[in-house]
Structure 1
Amino acid sequence: MGHLNDLASLGQAVWLDFVDRKFLAEGGLQKLVDEDALTGVTSNPSIFEKAMGHGDAYDAELAAYDAKNSDAPTMDRYEHLAILDIQAAADTLKPVYDRLDAKDGYVSLEVSPYLANDTDGTIAEARKLWAAVDRPNVMIKIPGTPAGVPAIAATIDAGINVNVTLLFSQSAYQAVAEAYVEGLEKRAERGDPIDRIASVASFFVSRIDSEIDDKIDAGVGGDAAKALKGKVAIANAKLAYAWYEEFITSARWQALAAKGAQPQRLLWASTGTKNPDYPDTLYLDTLIGKDTVNTVPPKTLDAFRDHGTAAATLGQDVAGARHILSEAERLGLDLDGVTDTLVEEGVASFSKAFDDLLGAIAAKHPAHA
């Protein structure tokens, strides 16, 4: 055990948290699909900023676009480049999508982070990107902010696959799970099909430990809190999954399942280990369970292929996970406050990456700056 291929037999999909023009063109994604049973790809503004803002891999395509669209704003130029990458990744994954009958094989493209607090703007952008990519196996990423929740319901209602991003708290996750169901119910009421609509709820992991561990190192909770280092994020994820397992047995969900609805899978994001004292496969080894996805950066993917452990760990010791979170609350570590802050910081971080990305593209053709 310990290879990426072993995870599929345990019900977990592995997605790559990376996309890049050169990587796609040289067959890097196809190799992972063929050799490691990879079934999806995620992107975000930070990934595109690294891909497009540095080096010259996109320059020829950008010049060709500019020659035909001399007055195009920088945002349109970015979307043109991003959509080509997403289409290429989607085409690579289309055989996976077909083989698994629309249950996997997806690539995700994020709405502008500037719209994180704009419900109507998010809905309009999701529709625009969905139409522009024009692939059945794309997911539009929408943040699970308060403004994002109704946008998720409306986007699912429109028949668009959704990857809900920036989830840190169990309450935020539950809200978006119910938004997914609401969107499906509206379609079902009209008699529209719901069997090939897919969604994932991207629950972020490592950043929670980074924040909680910093508090513990600063003395919050005293010596007793030191036993919780590196454990709170995994406990939080385990309880989110326990809620999911209970929710899919509910009469509300079963009514949709009878019509062919796919469950909204929990997706573990931010799974690269940030603390060098922790195993580099920590957030893969401990979060393996049925109907879940782990989206993994390339370095962590390589680490798990080499020395990860494949076992059904996600459902183990849920009582212990509850105890860890109750201790965190008792000791004043304020997980709710941490998760609220992380959502705000996540939106700000993606917005900053988007600023840098658009600036880099504008600089390649100063007339558009």
Structure 2
Amino acid sequence: MSTNNVKRIHDFGQSIWLDFTERKLIQSGGLKKLIDEDGVRGVTSNPAIFEKAISSSSDYDEQIARLAKEGKSPEEIFYALAIDDIQAAADLFKSVYEEEVEGADGYVSLEVSPFLARDTEGTIRQARDLWKRLARKNVMIKIPGTAEGLPAIRTCISEGININVTLLFGLGRYEEVTEAYIAGLEDRLSAGKPIDHIASVASFFLSRIDVMVDPLLNEKGFNELKGEVAIASAKKAYQIYKRVFSSERFKKLEEKGARPQRVLWASTSSKDPSISDVKYVEALIGPDTVDTIPMETLEAFRDHGNPENRLEENLNEAHLAMEKLKEIGINIDEITQKLEDEGIEKFNKPYEKLLKAIEEQRKK
């Protein structure tokens, strides 16, 4: 019997996390099956995922009714539901977290409210609260990599909280994120506290870059770069990762047990039906990275994916692709800032919809 294609990705040093969670998947044994058969090594969630899970099933109705009777607000009810699900998923991944080098994988992520994306202090307060309430070593709190998120990331790392930095698009901002992570570790070490248990990932949202850039390339007659800019950007990000986490500055922290902040590829489902549904997954397989993929992409890769170590192939072409954008007048920095702004809004809308749905059930 041939080895599962998804599981084979792990042979190349990359971890596959599932970008999806719902109570039914956890309680039915479906998530455990994905761990055992596909080698899934973690889970990420976001407001849109929870909105779909809670609004499209009756699995949460009884708990919503009970919490409503206790006088909880819609947001308090949402986080009570989410924390229960994240804890249950984290418990399923405990054996993954404890295998080989403890803490290499097995993480489940829960995001702070998207309404806090521009609120540093509010983000810190909620990250602390969620971390305390989750009470699991193998969870990560998701904080967006906005300008306001950077000091929150540094503070939370210095307090020993595992952080999944989300909504990253630009290379300049990624450098700032690595700085926030390393500075947070240094702050913690200066305070005489251990840093050998802290984990973090930096999550790049990829296919959305091509969704915005491809029409501009089409207008300018450069269709050969269609569907390639996000991959080129990811390859350059990986080179930054290697440089930063092999520096003398980080080596001093590594001697005290610090781990590199891995890059995580997010938004890796193809949005363009004319390109392969596993294009982004195949192109970005490489060591010491994570790819979080939705269920349909995981199933597609299981069916017809071709795992190979490709992340450092054609690096010169990746560099030339980014240079070509400059030459033809496409400002990638402006585009990635616009994507960050839109990304916040794209999480706000399903979160608002979710709170509204809970409010309606609460009134009942």
- How high is the TM-score relative to the length of structure 1? 0.96
Match of 1:209 in 2: 210
**94-103 vs 348-357, greater mean Cα deviation:** 94-103
TM alignment of 1:227-266, pairs within 5 A: 227-266=224-263
SS in 1 for 2:175: helix
For the Cα contact (< 8 Å) 1:2–1:304, is it kept in 2? no
Give, in whole Å, the separation in 2 of the partners of 1:198 and 1:162: 7
SS in 2 for 1:310: coil
Q: Does 1:285 align with 2:286?
A: no
- Find the partner of 1:16 among 6, 15, 18: 18
Give, in whole Å, the separation in 1 of the partners of 2:192 and 2:5: 43
Give, in whole Å, the separation in 2 of the partners of 1:29 and 1:263: 27
Consecutive unaligned residues in structure 1, runs of 5 or more: none
Give, in whole Å, the separation in 2 of the partners of 1:294 and 1:122: 25
For the Cα contact (< 8 Å) 2:4–2:37, is it kept in 1? no
Give the aligned length.
361
Give, in whole Å, the separation in 2 of the partners of 1:340 and 1:82: 29
For the Cα contact (< 8 Å) 2:64–2:362, is it kept in 1? no
SS in 1 for 2:93: helix
SS in 2 for 1:4: helix
Give, in whole Å, the separation in 1 of the partners of 2:25 and 2:245: 38
- Find the partner of 1:354 among 351, 354, 357: 351
SS in 2 for 1:361: helix
Match of 2:68 in 1: 66
Give, in whole Å, the separation in 2 of the partners of 1:268 and 1:309: 17
Deviation for aligned residue 1:54: 2.2
Match of 2:269 in 1: 272
The one-letter amino acid of 2:291's match is N
Deviation for aligned residue 1:179: 0.4
The one-letter amino acid of 1:295's match is T
Match of 1:34 in 2: 36
Deviation for aligned residue 1:9: 1.6
Match of 1:112 in 2: 113
Q: Does 1:81 align with 2:81?
A: yes
SS in 1 for 2:5: coil
For the Cα contact (< 8 Å) 1:238–1:321, is it kept in 2? yes
For the Cα contact (< 8 Å) 1:2–1:307, is it kept in 2? no
Percent of aligned pairs with the same residue? Answer: 48
Give, in whole Å, the separation in 2 of the partners of 1:180 and 1:257: 13
The one-letter amino acid of 2:163's match is V
Match of 1:151 in 2: 152
Give, in whole Å, the separation in 2 of the partners of 1:289 and 1:60: 44
The one-letter amino acid of 1:234's match is I
Match of 2:363 in 1: 366
Consecutive unaligned residues in structure 2, runs of 5 or more: none
Deviation for aligned residue 1:2: 7.1
The one-letter amino acid of 1:5's match is K
Give, in whole Å, the separation in 1 of the partners of 2:173 and 2:4: 32
The one-letter amino acid of 1:169's match is G
